[in-house]
């Protein structure tokens, strides 16, 4: 049910040593429960419930589930092995089912890749690549998926000593090699998307290397001092590559031009902090709040005092969260215009569920007083910041894994898969 990879991170879990001082986007979409407190709430329509259970899988033993476009994939334990079942998201109709191995069951993950229409199922040495439409096994990969398009997968593959030894761009449905190149001991890497598809690959293997996604051509290479208490972390913002180094009492962020890898600007944050792509700005998180910096110069464009982090949610909009100031102890959320830092709508108390499929909605759950009381469900408009009350769900959802997939809430319910319509 919960897939915690970053959009730019590997497609199944890998150790991430970066300090977590803000919520990742995928975390926001899959793992949070929420409380909402708005002054302007609309009443639930009395003629038709907008939150209702559509179907429940007849199978028990559910281990996890993950939604894709129009389909939810449920992995369940069966005997000493398991079974992967693809259900129609709207009706629950079974589209296909395939047996899985004990290694797949113990691994504790599956990964849905919507662009090429694939599902990755773990094996002892890597992952089996399945056709999401039919469940047919297409080929087996080793290593991790670092980027993808409709037709390709970028793989980081290991050598005999267990360390990464090469990058390989493979055909998504047949595994054929398009290009490959050796790399050293890769500590961190990131893939930048442009116009909705991967364009540039940044690799930290002791040096900093930029590669073109489509053909692996080297675009630049420079020395990368390994200062700090951990490996430098990489991220993209506009035409800049950001290198973050973590020290005991500060974080240093250096921006490099993508065309030359020359340093553009540098800044330091006392204590903890992070720098992330927020569309037209770099979001710099520190103890003072979140600043929106010009990607090319590092100049501060705006500051939201007290904010603990921001994540893009749609177009030019960011979701900001702050320390709780309400009796329920939940973080305060607000929608922020990325270009100006201006808050839109009202602050809300709670944690959102964000959909990465369907219409990319943002909803919030609001528990009511007693631990066993129902929780209200609100739609939070990412353009205006306004909310609409949709209905209620049972209190059990608060402690269960769930995922929002467009207008569907996919949840684990007493060892079974349950899908609810939301709005």
Confidence (pTM): 0.83
Residue 25, domain member (yes or no): no
Residue 13 pLDDT grade (very low, low, confident, very high; cuts 50, 70, 90): very low
**CATH number of the CATH domain containing 212:** 2.130.10
Residue 384, domain member (yes or no): yes
User: Which of 26-30, 34-38, 269-273, 296-300 is most confident?
Assistant: 296-300
What is the mean pLDDT of the segment spanning 97-118? 95
Residue 14, domain member (yes or no): no
Residue 19, domain member (yes or no): no
What is the mean pLDDT of the segment spanning 308-327? 84
SS (H, E, C) the chain: CCCCCCCCCCCCCCCCCCCCCCCCHHHHHHCCCCCCCCCCCCCCCCCCCCEEEEEECCCCCEEEEEEECCEEEEEEEECCEEEEEEEECCCCCEEEEEEECHHHHHHCCCEEECCCCEEEEECCCEEEEEECCCCCEEEEEECEEEEECCCEEEEEEECCCCCEEEEEEEECCCCCEEEEEECCCCCEEEEEEECCEEEEEEEECCEEEEEECCCCCEEEEEECCCCCCCCCEEEEECCEEEEEEECCCEEEEEEEECCCCCEEEEEEEECCCEEEEECCEEEEEECCEEEEECCCCCCEEEEEECEEEEEEEECCEEEEEECCCCCCCCCEEEEEECCCCCEEEEEEECCEEECCCCCCCEEEEEECCCCCCCEEEEEECCCCCCEEEEEEECHHHHHCCEEEECCEEEEEECCEEEEEEEC
Residue 17, domain member (yes or no): no
Residue 184 pLDDT grade (very low, low, confident, very high; cuts 50, 70, 90): confident
Residue 164 pLDDT grade (very low, low, confident, very high; cuts 50, 70, 90): low
Domain holding 279, by residue range, is 32-422
pLDDT single digits (tens) 27-58: 434 333 333 233 333 344 444 568 999 999 99
pLDDT-wise least confident of 104-113, 197-206, 223-232: 223-232
Residue 6, domain member (yes or no): no
What is the mean pLDDT of the segment spanning 162-181? 90
Q: What is the count of structural domains for the chain?
A: 1
Mean pLDDT of the chain: 84
Residue 79, domain member (yes or no): yes
Residue 410, domain member (yes or no): yes
């Amino acid at each position: 049910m919960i897939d915690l990879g970053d959009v730019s991170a590997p497609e199944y879990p890998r150790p991430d040593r970066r300090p977590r001082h803000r919520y990742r986007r995928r975390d926001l979409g899959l793992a949070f429960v929420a409380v909402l407190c708005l002054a302007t709430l609309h009443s639930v329509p009395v003629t038709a419930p907008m939150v209702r259970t559509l179907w429940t899988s007849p199978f028990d033993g559910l281990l996890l589930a993950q939604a894709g476009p129009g389909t939810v994939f449920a992995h369940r334990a069966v005997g000493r092995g398991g079974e992967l079942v693809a259900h129609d998201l709207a009706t629950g109709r079974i589209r296909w089912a395939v047996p899985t191995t004990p290694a797949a069951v113990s691994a504790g993950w599956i990964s849905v890749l919507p662009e090429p229409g694939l599902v990755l199922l773990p094996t002892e040495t890597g992952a089996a690549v399945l056709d999401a439409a039919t469940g047919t096994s297409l080929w087996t990969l080793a290593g991790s998926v670092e980027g993808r398009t409709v037709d390709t997968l970028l793989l980081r593959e290991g050598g005999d000593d267990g360390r990464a030894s090469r990058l390989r761009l493979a055909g998504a449905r047949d595994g054929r090699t398009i290009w490959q190149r050796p790399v050293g001991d890769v500590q961190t890497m990131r893939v930048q998307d442009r116009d909705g598809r991967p364009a540039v690959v940044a690799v930290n293997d002791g040096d900093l290397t930029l590669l073109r996604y489509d053909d692996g051509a080297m675009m630049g290479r420079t020395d990368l001092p390994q200062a700090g208490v951990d490996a430098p972390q990489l991220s993209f913002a506009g035409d800049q590559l950001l290198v973050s180094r973590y020290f005991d009492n500060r974080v240093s962020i250096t921006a490099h031009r993508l065309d030359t890898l020359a340093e553009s600007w540098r800044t330091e944050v006392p204590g903890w902090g992070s720098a992330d792509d927020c569309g037209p700005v770099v979001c710099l998180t520190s103890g003072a709040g979140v600043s929106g910096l010009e990607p090319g110069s590092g100049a501060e464009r705006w500051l939201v005092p007290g904010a603990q982090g921001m994540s893009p949610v749609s177009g030019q909009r960011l979701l900001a969260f702050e320390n709780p100031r309400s009796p329920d102890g939940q973080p305060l959320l607000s929608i922020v215009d990325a270009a100006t830092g201006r808050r839109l709508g009202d602050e809300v108390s709670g944690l959102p569920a964000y959909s990465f499929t369907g219409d990319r909605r943002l909803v919030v759950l609001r528990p009511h007083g007693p631990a066993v009381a129902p929780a209200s469900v609100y739609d939070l408009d990412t353009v205006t910041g306004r909310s609409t009350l949709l209905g209620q769900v049972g209190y059990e959802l608060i402690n269960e894994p769930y995922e929002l997939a467009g207008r569907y809430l996919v949840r684990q319910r007493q060892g079974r898969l349950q899908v609810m319509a939301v709005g």
